[in-house]
Chains A and B, each alone.
Chain A
């Protein structure tokens, strides 16, 4: 049990290092958008997700509605449901409902990727170790970024505002290179987003992400069929 916890923590270290830099960027962006250090850290501690948090801060800064907030989080984070479905089948028999309720909080892209490739069934201890280390990195990075956003020169924090977007690009480009359907979906989503920003600027930023993401994904699925088809 202790063994599994330590193993999970060990597996979480690369995730933590990645989260540190990314959440640093989030902290900077959050403070730049008008949030306090405590609010930025509070968001990271209770959400543990990059894209959802960025969209959330955008909606808060724009004074959007709570329905818009809920809908944006739903669309952006619905992939975690899919990961939850998938991971659910890999759990050891010691996984009680209580453990499921707690560990489900830590389902992220990175934790999912690591947990789902483990050869043996997942124990609660392993997932606790893995998720705890990642969460620490995520919260600590947010704090440092939000704090730095208040003390570093404007010029430096402004440039650091690019970090999060740089990471998003690093996530979407490699699969787009290998799979032209992903490339098409990415270009379509970006094109729609640009169109809405300049042509239909009455649509809020949060709603725009929802509309673009759903349209691009559905059009991609209609045009290219199911994902296993052409690979």
Chain B
């Protein structure tokens, strides 16, 4: 199957999700339960996408693990996204060069 068909489905779905409520609905979601689920959803998505994939991201479990730990520590201290992202890469690269 052509990659562009996937891209069209991806883009179409993502656009509809953004467009429909923004354009046509003017009321708030009343269900507290649904609001809560939607509040947790992005965190759950990001976490499920990150683990365990992050340990395979560099092709070497040791350097990826070091990069992960660096990211966790820096994120814990509220450092900006770019700093956390770049530092974890640099740490993994350094480990890759040493080993």
Contacts and interface: CB of A to CB of B under 8 A. Distances in A.
Tell me whether A and B are bound partners: yes
Interface of A: 17-18, 21-22, 25, 35, 39, 42-43, 46-49, 51-56, 59-60, 63, 66, 69-70, 73-82, 84-89, 97, 100-101, 103-105, 107, 109, 155-156, 158-177, 181-182, 185-190, 192-194, 197-198, 205, 208-209, 212-214, 216-218, 220-221, 224-228
B86 A163 contact: yes
Interface residues of chain B: helix, strand, loop or mixed (majority): helix
A160 B36 CA distance: 34
A97 B46 contact: no
A182 B82 contact: no
Contact of B81 (A171, A192, A218): A171
Q: Which 3 A-B pairs have the closest CB atoms?
A: A84-B22, A159-B93, A173-B75
A160 B21 contact: no
B84 A167 contact: yes
Contacts of A167: 81-82, 84-85
Interface in B51-66: 51-54, 57-60, 63-64
Contacts of A54: 49
A225 B36 CA distance: 8
B13 A97 contact: no
B29 A82 contact: yes
A167 B3 CA distance: 26
